[in-house]
Amino acid sequence: MPPPPAPPRYEQVSIADVGTPLAQVTFVVVDLETTGGSPKDSAITEIGAVRVRGGQVLGEFQTLVDPGHEIPPYISVLTGITSTMVATAPRIGAVLPAFLEFARGAVLVAHNAPFDLGFLRAACAENGMAWPAAASVDTAVLARRLLSRDEVPNCKLATLAPYFSATTSPTHRALDDARATVDVLHGLFERLGPLGVTTLEELTGLTRQVDPERRRKRHLADAVPHGPGVYLFRGPKDEPLYVGTSGDLRSRVRSYFTSGEQRSRITEMVGLAQRVEAIPCAHALEAAVRELRLIARHKPRYNRRSRFPERALWVRLTEEPFPRLSVVRRVRPDAGVFLGPFPDRRAADAAVAAVHEVLPLRQCTARLSPRTPVNACALADMGRCGAPCTGAQSVPEYAGVAAVFAAAVGHDPRPLLGPLLERVDRLAGEERYEDAAVLRDRVAVLVRAVRRRQRLASLAAVPELVLARPDGEGGWELSVVRYGRLAAAGNAPRDSTVRSVLSGLLATAETVPGTDAEHPTTVDETELVLRWLEKPGTRLVQLTGTLACAAPGTGAYSGFLARVEAGRDASDPFADGRSLGTRARPERIASPA
């Protein structure tokens, strides 16, 4: 007798591998007519939507909307909607609840979805309504994936509708265009069968161009735990390719193998990755600090946008009889006064130029001796230097000028910044607005650098402090900080006390030597700790030493910085391409008599 047939084998698949069949998905195809191209300065004039499932139309939604202002004539010519037509129509705040109810539980579809959905999101935000967390499909993107140039010259709705024999022609009216988009959507769905795309998840992945090779590497995330921490993608030689951090390691690492990750360089990185190393951390601060340290140590090639400590620049007031300002990369003890760090050379040069506006510090690079006079340069004739090289300025006289910069960095920037701001106001009063704006931006760079330097120095001088933050579950996240460096991190669960956990944490904390260096750790790490300290809800549990801000400090210049930020059109404060020198002779801070 033949052996009995083997029983069928069943395989348990993960939730991520279970898809929703397209035939069971409800879609709401929506189209808008608006008064312009951006929700920042335009409004919706008409909404049209069609609800479909399994190829059957379940309902339609259409309404005109009063945009609150006149419709431009060229828009009326394009859409046929005039200001008279919408005069009695409801405002968008009254229309949105009905539309959101119509679209409840459905996948939103639009042709050029960022445009239509962007207007709807903006309208919801403006009217205090929550935008539903719904999936979306862009038929324009889907058409680009499925159709070739031999079939259609472009993927405009007016081109696709006749190609798929749509029963309704697009007319730049919302409901007609939504009906045409329904037919285009169904025509595109017919192209999915040969590709094996049968579920909503596969459809979403197709529109986002997920590399199959990347998807096959999902197993690299199998051993990654949940919770906060740092992850490292390692390459064929076990070299670190990329370092990242997350509050949920497993979810974040899994996202690299789905359609949510679209960066081309990350796609290349995932293709090279052979394994993922996870480092669980006690909380987000420890994860951020470990990420900084790992990037600085390994310099992964795919972390090219990260900040490397050795790239920071400082402005140094040198230690010599006649000190000068120099831009350097290293902070060395007993080597002068240091201001910074600055992100790039242009920022450092802007701060130096601002200082030279009011302080007649020498700008030559030669080492000068009080006993060997030399000829003066052109800056002395221009009044931009006290000419110590000629003997016209003694060492004590010159030291009085340099002391203004040292005091500004240490605690009191008023003698340095006061004349600069007066000059900005005077230039504006003389209607030299361009010159005033250039000097204003340089002063802003200088103020920010002084403020950052003083705040970091105050924390870096503290031998030890212990911080605690609520973890949201009745417990506490603990951090031990020594000289601005995170020395230990831990958690005090809900059923324990902070003191009981803290004793063990302090005993195992890293020993950080109190050196004479500017920073026993990187500035970026100290700044992370400082931001953690200043977060609402953070408590100072224990302190050794003194934590205090320099007085009078830069608090008086907060309003100035706020005005600069509010009045700046561009994000780059160094957009001016002119030389950092000044043409007019500025007022100088004279050396004390």
Give the active site residues. Answer: 172
Indicate the Cα dihedral angle 272, 277, 280, 281, nearest 10°: -70
Candidates 582, 587, 588, 579; CA nearest to 432 is 582
Contact 435, 586 (CB under 8 A): no
- The Cα–Cα gap between 575 and 378 comes to 28
> Residue 290 CB: number of other CB atoms within 10 A?
19
Backbone angles phi, psi at 52, to 5 degrees: -135, 155
- The Cα–Cα gap between 226 and 526 comes to 27
Candidates 590, 577, 439, 459; CA nearest to 527 is 459
- The Cα–Cα gap between 294 and 350 comes to 31
498: its two tokens: 């902070």
- The Cα–Cα gap between 138 and 152 comes to 17
**CA 279 and chain centroid, separation:** 24
> Residue 13 CB: number of other CB atoms within 10 A?
8
Candidates 100, 63, 59, 61; CA nearest to 81 is 63
Element spanning 245, H or E: strand 240-246
Contact 166, 143 (CB under 8 A): no
Q: Is 97 exposed, middle or buried (0-12, 13-18, 19+ CB in 10 A)?
A: exposed
Residue-level length of the chain? 593
Q: How far is CA 19 from CA 14, 202, 205, 214, 256, in A?
A: 10, 8, 12, 18, 19
Residues 6+ apart with CB under 8 A from 58: 26, 51, 52
- The Cα–Cα gap between 369 and 366 comes to 10
Element spanning 200, H or E: helix 200-207
What is the secondary structure of 531-554 as a DSSP string?
HHHHSTT-EEEEEES-----SSTT
Contact 209, 145 (CB under 8 A): yes
**CB-facing half-sphere around the CA of 234: CA atoms within 13 A:** 12
The owner of tokens 């006690």 is: 282
Residues 6+ apart with CB under 8 A from 238: 274, 275
Contact 443, 416 (CB under 8 A): no
Angle at the Cα of 588 from the Cα atoms of 584 and 590, rounded to 5 degrees = 155
